[in-house]
């Protein structure tokens, strides 16, 4: 590539072209179902799209991974926990030609699926169970939303309904308890109680504006993949979002307040309260001291073919505003939600999305690596009645997903980041997966679903609330990590070391770091020590205290395979000298345990 072209591209990135070109941006265009490339027969549509791009670079997919690898990959991916040795054996010896497809179905039907995929959505929703800011008070009744999300994923609730409920579920007829809980999305982020109660009017107004920016950001980024929040002070720098449209959307949500409301008799939930607000005024430069004209509730004009004007007056009932917005959002002519969600699903399966910036499909985001594939997937998503499980099936049954993960120097030289999918990229377990996997392997896991969160900390109060993480022992603390009280301050050291995000941050994609603090946590954390000991006790009990058999079982639980002769001999010697729990500790610390291939 020559230097002039590079400079031109860099300049283009620095000084984007405004106006009509902005409106022609790829993600804003109507969704059309692209033709599937015609390649060798027998390929699924996804594989045809993938293979077409690989062929352009003289690359090919890797061979299919073996069943042992596939079941571990699929189990962590869909359920967030490792398969049991019995499940592995059953799958490997399954003679059915549809053994793999049947496994996909079984996992999709497991209640563990919602616990795993619900957690992804909670990252996007910046779901937190304490206020943040100065007081960081607990939200004892926020967990209904977490359960709502898990239930929705498990039930394969049509995604358009899922969206609408989270915007206006408390106003959409017929009003259900489920819909009431769903609107927690609007308020489940941090809230500045002190700032909201202070005497200074301008400062208090500003606190409220910050709160609304966070709300508008979560709605815009989660469903539309657009950073609508960037238009608070001026027209969006990169995308066709005029300044006043930020305030039209703000008007939609202006009646939303932090707080609890009843969702049933004597049951309070942190779903937010409502007021009928004053008509919304645009603030010049976002400055609360510079109010300008009154605006009516509305949506984004950038979506062609959909009216951004709801025909509502500035003083329309606040519930009506949200209902109209929810309908606009979920209109099948709105191409963004299907593209954005299909991309999220792809990203969680493969570790990287077709669009690398999942919350930003605007001009400052990265363009899709496979635009036709993304649109095909989004079209299928809508055609299936917005069924996420349909999208999972399409992806999981592809050859692209079932490839081996082995690196290939030739392919790596051409596409080091595996954007074209010449292999399945190995994936580090996420913090919750790691903790849950240890509990499963040790046999300590408590599968109780739903209800109030467990609290692995002690609370102290000094005007502010403080949460000191504690490795507390007892069945309730052995529940899956998604049921942990997710507070802002007082980070849990093991999870924190493994990139568990700050709950107040909208996290569409988690970081993956490798640090000495991680190693220290796995080496010394009392939870890890205890799970290693329990695993040792478990396999000894299951194998009549015979070391060799117990070691084989420990390997199968932790790594999904038997040790080879060398490993077994070494382990037997160690177990004899220092005890089996030392082998178990090493297994839980091993790269093979911490990574999915």
Partner 1 sequence: MSNNALAPLLSRRHFLSHTAGGLGGVALAWMLNREQSHAGALGPHFPPKAKRVIQIFCCGGVSHIDTFDYKPELARLHGKTLEGKGENLGFFGQPGRVMKSPYEFRQHGKSGAWVSSLLPNIAGCVDDLCFIHSMFAKSNNHTPATFQMNTGFTMNGFPCMGAWLSYGLGSTNENLPTFVVLPDRRGLPAGGSINWTSGFLPANHQGVPFRSSSAEPIVDLRTPANIAPNARNADLQLLAQMNHRFADAHPGDDAFAARLHSYELAARMQSSIPEATNLDGELDSVKKLYGLGEESNKGFAQNCLMARRLLERGVRFVQIFNGGAFGSPRINWDGHENLKENHDTQAATMDKPIAGLIQDLKNRGMFEDTLLVWNTEFGRSPSTQGLNSPGRDHHPTVFTCFLAGAGVKRGYHHGSSDEVGYFVAENKVTVPDFHATILHLLGIDHEKLTFYHNGINRRLTNVEGEVIKEILS
Residue ranges in 518-557 that form contacts with partner 1 under rule CB under 8 A:
518-521, 523-526, 529
* Interface region with partner 1, contact rule CB under 8 A, candidates 76-84, 102-110, 389-397, 510-518: 510-518
Residue pair 61/54 in contact (Cβ under 8 Å)? The answer is yes
Give dist(CA 416, CA 373) in Å, integer: 21
Rounded to whole angstroms, the Cα distance separating 210 from 341 reads 26
Residue 190 near residue 132, CB atoms below 8 Å: yes
Please say which residue, 210 or 331, places its beta carbon nearer to partner 1.
210
Segment contacting partner 1 by CB under 8 A, of 91-99, 313-321, 484-492, 542-550: 484-492
Of the ranges 156-164, 310-318, 389-397, 506-514, which one interacts with partner 1 (CB under 8 A)?
506-514
Q: Which of 52, 138, 268, 594 binds partner 1 (CB under 8 A)?
A: 594
- For partner 1, the closer of residues 149 and 583 by Cβ is 583
Contact status: 10 vs partner 1 (CB under 8 A): yes
- By beta-carbon proximity to partner 1, the closer residue of 448 and 526 is 526
Note whether 107 binds partner 1 by CB under 8 A.
no
Site string for partner 1, 317-356 (x = CB under 8 A): ----------------------------------xx---x
Among 200, 307, 448, 458, which residue sits at the site for partner 1 (rule: CB under 8 A)? 200
Per CB under 8 A, the segment of 102-110, 175-183, 243-251, 499-507 that binds partner 1 is: 499-507
- For position 413 contacting partner 1 by CB under 8 A, the verdict is no
Q: Are 405 and 424 in contact (CB under 8 A)?
A: yes
Please write down the long-range contacts of 546-551, taking CB distance under 8 Å and 24 or more positions apart.
547/572, 547/575, 547/576, 547/580, 548/572, 550/575, 550/580, 551/575, 551/580, 551/583
Considering only 329-337, 390-398, 443-451, 493-501, which stretch makes contact with partner 1 by CB under 8 A? 493-501
CA distances from 588 to 120, 467, 534, 559, 593 (A): 24, 27, 12, 9, 6
Give the one residue of 41, 266, 416, 565 binding partner 1; rule: CB under 8 A. Answer: 416
Q: Which stretch binds partner 1 (CB under 8 A): 32-40, 47-55, 477-485, 494-502?
A: 494-502
Choosing from 4, 461, 474, 565, the residue that interacts with partner 1 (CB under 8 A) is 461
The correct pick among 513, 562, 569, 576 for binding partner 1 (CB under 8 A) is: 513
User: DSSP label at 175?
Assistant: P
Report if residue 511 touches partner 1, rule: CB under 8 A: yes
- Nearest approach, Cβ of 228 to partner 1 (angstroms)? 9
| Residues pairing with 295 in the sheet | 280
Find how far residue 289's CA is from the centre of its chain.
38
Q: Do 483 and 447 meet the contact criterion of CB atoms below 8 Å apart?
A: no
Question: If binding is defined by CB under 8 A, does position 235 make contact with partner 1?
Answer: no
Within 248-277, the residues that bind partner 1 by CB under 8 A are none
Q: Please, which residues bridge with residue 467 across strands?
A: 459
Q: What residue has token string 């915007």?
A: 167
141 binds partner 1 (CB under 8 A): no
Cβ neighbours around 35 below 10 Å, total: 10
Among 367, 393, 470, 561, binds partner 1 (CB under 8 A): 367
Please tell me whether residue 24 binds partner 1 under the rule CB under 8 A.
no
Cβ contact 390:163 at 8 Å: no
Which DSSP helix (H) or strand (E) runs through 460? strand 457-462
SS (H, E, C) 40-92: CCCCCHHHHHHHHHHHHCCCCCCCECCHHHHHHHHHHHHHCCCCCHHHHHHHH
Helix and strand numbers (H, E) in the chain are 26, 10
Q: Which residues pair with 256 in a beta bridge?
A: 274
Is 560 a binding residue for partner 1 by CB under 8 A? The answer is: no
Cα atoms found within 13 Å of the Cα of residue 534, Cβ hemisphere only? 19
Cis link prior to 174 (omega < 30° from 0)? Answer: yes
Question: Pick from 365, 373, 376, 440: which binds partner 1 (CB under 8 A)?
Answer: 365
Residues from 430 through 459 that contact partner 1 (CB under 8 A): none
Give the residue, chosen from 28, 163, 230, 256, that forms a contact with partner 1 under the rule CB under 8 A.
230
Helix (H) or strand (E) holding 257: strand 256-257
Find, among 288, 1, 240, 270, the residue nearest to 139 by Cα: 270
Q: Which stretch binds partner 1 (CB under 8 A): 91-99, 140-148, 165-173, 497-505?
A: 497-505
Task: Say whether residue 26 binds partner 1 (CB under 8 A).
Answer: no
Q: Which residue blocks in 445-579 are alpha helix, DSSP H?
A: 493-497, 516-524, 526-542, 547-559, 565-578
d(CA 327, CA 513): 40
Nearer to partner 1, 207 or 280 (CB): 207
Q: Are 396 and 71 in contact (CB under 8 A)?
A: no
With tokens 């205890």, the residue in question is: 530
Q: Please count the residues of this chain forming the interface with partner 1, following the rule CB under 8 A.
A: 114
Q: Does 288 interact with partner 1 (rule: CB under 8 A)?
A: no
- Binding of partner 1 at residue 17 (CB under 8 A)? no
Among 129, 214, 327, 432, binds partner 1 (CB under 8 A): 214
Kindly indicate which of the ranges 186-194, 318-326, 447-455, 472-480 contains the residues binding partner 1, using the contact rule CB under 8 A.
186-194
Question: What's the rounded Cα separation, in Å, for the pair 398 and 390?
Answer: 13
Closer Cβ to partner 1, 327 or 552, answer by number: 552
Q: Does 407 bind partner 1 (CB under 8 A)?
A: yes
Among 160, 192, 254, 375, binds partner 1 (CB under 8 A): 192
CB 491, min distance to partner 1, A: 5
Determine if 313 is a binding residue for partner 1 (CB under 8 A): no
307/513 with CB nearer partner 1: 513
Nearest to 193 by CA among 258, 141, 245: 258
Residue 473, interface with partner 1 (CB under 8 A)? no
């Amino acid at each position: 590539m020559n230097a002039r072209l590079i400079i031109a591209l860099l300049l283009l990135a620095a000084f984007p072209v405004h106006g009509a070109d902005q409106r022609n941006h790829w993600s804003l265009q109507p969704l059309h179902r692209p033709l599937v490339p015609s390649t060798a027969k027998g390929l699924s549509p996804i594989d045809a799209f993938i293979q077409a791009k690989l062929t352009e670079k003289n690359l090919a997919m890797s061979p299919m991974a073996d069943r042992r690898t596939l079941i571990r990959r699929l189990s962590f991916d869909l359920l967030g926990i490792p398969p049991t040795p019995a499940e592995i054996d059953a799958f490997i010896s399954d003679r059915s030609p549809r053994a793999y497809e049947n496994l996909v179905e079984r996992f999709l039907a497991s209640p563990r699926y919602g616990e795993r995929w619900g957690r992804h959505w909670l990252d996007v929703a910046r779901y937190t169970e304490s206020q943040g800011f100065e007081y960081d008070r607990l939200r004892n009744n926020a967990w209904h939303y977490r359960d709502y999300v898990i239930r929705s994923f498990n039930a394969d609730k049509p995604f358009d309904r899922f969206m609408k409920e989270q915007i206006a579920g408390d106003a959409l007829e017929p009003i259900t308890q489920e819909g009431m809980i769903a609107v927690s999305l609007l308020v489940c982020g941090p809230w500045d109680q002190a700032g909201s109660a202070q005497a200074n009017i301008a400062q208090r107004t500003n606190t409220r504006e910050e709160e609304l920016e966070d709300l508008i950001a979560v709605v815009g980024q989660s469903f539309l993949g657009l950073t609508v929040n960037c238009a608070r002070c001026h027209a969006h720098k990169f995308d066709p979002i005029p300044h006043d449209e930020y305030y039209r959307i703000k008007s939609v949500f202006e009646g939303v307040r932090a707080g609890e409301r009843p969702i049933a008799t004597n049951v309070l939930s942190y779903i937010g309260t409502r007021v009928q607000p004053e008509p919304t005024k645009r603030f010049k430069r976002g400055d609360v001291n510079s109010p300008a004209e009154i605006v009516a509730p509305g949506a984004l004009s950038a979506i062609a073919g959909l009216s951004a004007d709801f025909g509502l007056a500035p003083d329309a009932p606040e519930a009506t505003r949200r209902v109209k917005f929810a309908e606009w959002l979920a209109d099948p002519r709105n191409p963004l939600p299907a593209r954005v969600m299909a991309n999220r699903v792809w990203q969680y399966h493969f570790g990287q999305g077709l669009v690398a910036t999942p919350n930003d499909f605007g001009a400052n985001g990265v363009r899709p690596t496979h635009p036709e594939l993304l649109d095909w997937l989004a079209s299928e998503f809508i055609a299936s009645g917005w069924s996420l499980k349909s999208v999972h099936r399409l992806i999981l049954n592809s050859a692209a997903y079932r490839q081996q993960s082995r690196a290939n120097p030739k392919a790596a030289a051409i596409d080091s980041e595996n954007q074209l999918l010449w292999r399945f990229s190995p994936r580090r377990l996420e913090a919750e997966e790691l903790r849950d996997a240890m509990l499963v392997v040790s046999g300590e896991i408590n599968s109780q679903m739903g209800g109030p969160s467990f609290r692995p900390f002690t609370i102290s109060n000094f005007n502010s609330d403080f949460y000191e993480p504690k490795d507390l022992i007892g069945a309730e603390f052995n529940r899956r990590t998604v049921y942990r009280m997710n507070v802002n301050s007082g980070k849990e050291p093991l999870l924190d070391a493994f990139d568990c995000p700050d709950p107040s941050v909208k996290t569409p994609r988690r970081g993956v770091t490798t640090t000495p603090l991680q190693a220290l946590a796995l080496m010394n954390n009392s939870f890890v020590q205890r799970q290693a000991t329990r695993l040792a006790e478990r396999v000894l009990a299951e194998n009549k205290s015979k070391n060799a058999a117990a070691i084989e079982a420990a390997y199968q639980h932790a790594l999904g395979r038997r040790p080879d002769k060398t490993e077994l001999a070494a382990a037997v010697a160690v177990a004899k000298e220092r005890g089996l729990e030392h082998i178990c500790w090493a297994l839980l610390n091993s790269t093979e345990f911490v990574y999915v291939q």
